[in-house]
Amino acid sequence: MTALEVPNVPTLELRAGLSSEDARRDAYVHAHARGTFFHLSGWRRVIEKVHGHDALDVCAWRGDRLVGVLPLMLCRGFFGGRKLVSMPYATYGGPLGEDRAIEAALVERGAHLARELSAGYMELRCLEDPGLELPLTPSTLYCTFLKELPSDPAQVLARMPKKSRAEARKAREKHGLELSNGHWYLDDLQRMFLMNKHALGSPGLPGAHFRALLEQFERSVFVHLVRQAERPLSAVMSFAYGDTLIAYYAGAQPGADRAVSASNFMYLALQEWAVERGFRRFDFCRSRMDSGAFEFKRHQGFEPTPLHYRYHLEKSRSLPSFNPSNPRTKILQSAWSKLPLWLASALSERLPRYLP
């Protein structure tokens, strides 16, 4: 890439991100007010390794100073179609820059790449309104759930809504549920995550995805298991980013929530654990506004915050609609949920590549 003249941003140079610059890029992300775990280079490396998507990160430089980052990946669809996503398999993404002019330049470069590659669209998974004066199409499909944590673990239970508080207390005191932490619970997590996705009519994720996250981020990844005596009931994988704990992948044994409120207890105990270790915020991540997960998080005392996803439509004429909110996908969901679990598991090793 050559130097690009941008109004009010003299001598700005946009060029492809290099793996040799990952340490500087990650330091920039950590220092940026809107940087997220999913902007980090490690997330890109996991997606490259496991799913085979191509990294097309764009970095903005002024001389030898990094002043902006747009994490971006080229993803291929079922029938050969292409799309650019910032970032795949992630709640958050989008441009980070020292000012809006730099972010606009990054997005314009992404749109140019979409044209060069004949992509259907470019998707920016922004947490906040990017405020860019560009012809981007908004999506209002998702909300995220963020909450400040108290300073005392005992206050977590007290802050829960009355019904959820009673269920969580009953799970602990009457049913004897306990929370344990350890990477060795990864197989339990993967198994229950797959079962829950299967019941909902969606593919899971390949085992390599979870293993790669542990290998890549090591001390920033936690796997917790809820059990009753020696019986595993639910599990969750979380990520640490600054003072925030991000509860990301989870699953529960069929019937465990109805019988002993396993998930209700799990998120209570996970927040208590987070407070004990000095985290100040809890990120429950995104859910579709018409989903059961959306209502569950509200019942846990979290308020939804709309996500400001933006699309640059290149070859596509409308927003992507292949998601559970589209009634046309109900037939596919129903068919998937009726597959034998072993077959759904085998297909989940390959299909998620096309569902970033």
The enclosing domain of 214 has a CATH number of 3.40.630.30
Are residue 54 and residue 127 in the same domain, yes or no?
Answer: yes
Backbone angles phi and psi of 238, in degrees to 5: -125, 155
Residues 168 and 257 in one domain: yes
Q: Cite the DSSP H helix spans in 174-261.
A: 186-200, 207-217, 256-260
pLDDT score of 1: 46
Q: How many CB atoms lie within 10 A of CB 277?
A: 12
Band (266; pLDDT cuts 50, 70, 90): very high
Nearest CA to 55 out of 29, 2, 19, 80 is that of 19
Is residue 24 located within the same domain as residue 107?
Answer: yes
Instruction: Please tell me which residue, 182 or 324, carries the higher pLDDT value.
Output: 182
pLDDT digits (tens, 9 = 90+) for 107-155: 999 999 999 999 999 999 999 998 888 899 999 999 999 999 999 999 9
**Beta-carbon contacts of residue 347 (< 8 Å; ≥ 6 apart):** 203, 339
Residues 171, 274: one domain? Answer: yes
Residue with tokens 């679990």: 341
Residues 56, 98, single domain; the answer is yes
Contact 57, 94 (CB under 8 A): no
Residue, of 99 and 327, whose pLDDT is higher: 99
Average pLDDT of the residues in 32-46: 98
Instruction: Say if 167 falls within a structural domain.
Output: yes
Confirm whether 346 is domain-assigned: no
Q: Report DSSP state, residue 175.
A: S
Identify the three-state secondary structure at position 126.
strand
Query: What tens digit of pLDDT does each residue of 308-321 get?
Result: 999 999 998 888 87
For residues 215 and 55, what is the distance between their CA atoms, to the nearest angstrom? 19
Same domain, 100 and 206: no
Q: Within this chain, do residues 135 and 155 fall inside the same structural domain, yes or no?
A: no
Q: Is residue 259 assigned to a domain?
A: yes
In three-state secondary structure terms, 264 is helix
Number of domains in the chain: 2
Q: Which domain holds residue 265?
A: 150-279
Q: Is the pLDDT of residue 226 over 60?
A: yes
Burial status of residue 307 (CB atoms within 10 A of its CB: 0-12, 13-18, 19 or more): buried
* Same domain (yes/no): 130, 47: yes
Residue 82 lies in a domain: yes
Average pLDDT, the chain: 93
What is the Cα–Cα distance from 356 to 354, expressed in whole angstroms? 6
Q: Does a structural domain hold residue 207?
A: yes
Q: Which two tokens stand for residue 30?
A: 């950590």
Do 34 and 78 belong together in one domain? yes
The closest alpha carbon to 217, from 91, 17, 40, belongs to 40
Would you mind telling me the total number of residues written for the chain in this entry? 356
3-state SS class at 323: coil
Is position 74 within any domain?
Answer: yes
Give yes or no: residues 171 and 260 share one domain.
Answer: yes
Q: Do the domain assignments include residue 298? A: no
Whether 135 and 44 share a structural domain? yes
pLDDT number for residue 325: 67
Q: Residue 347 has which token pair? A: 């297909």
Cα 27 from chain centroid (whole Å): 20
The pLDDT value recorded for residue 176 is 96
Interior CA angle at 325 toward 119 and 244, to 5°?
Answer: 80
DSSP E strand stretches across 229-315: 231-241, 244-252, 281-283, 287-288, 304-306, 308-313
Query: Which DSSP helix (H) or strand (E) runs through 280?
Result: none
What's the pLDDT score for residue 7? 54
Query: Is 295 among the domain residues?
Result: no
How many other C-beta atoms can be found within 10 angstroms of the C-beta atom of residue 331?
Answer: 10
Same domain for 50 and 126, yes or no, is: yes
Beta strand 82-86 with 121-126 is parallel
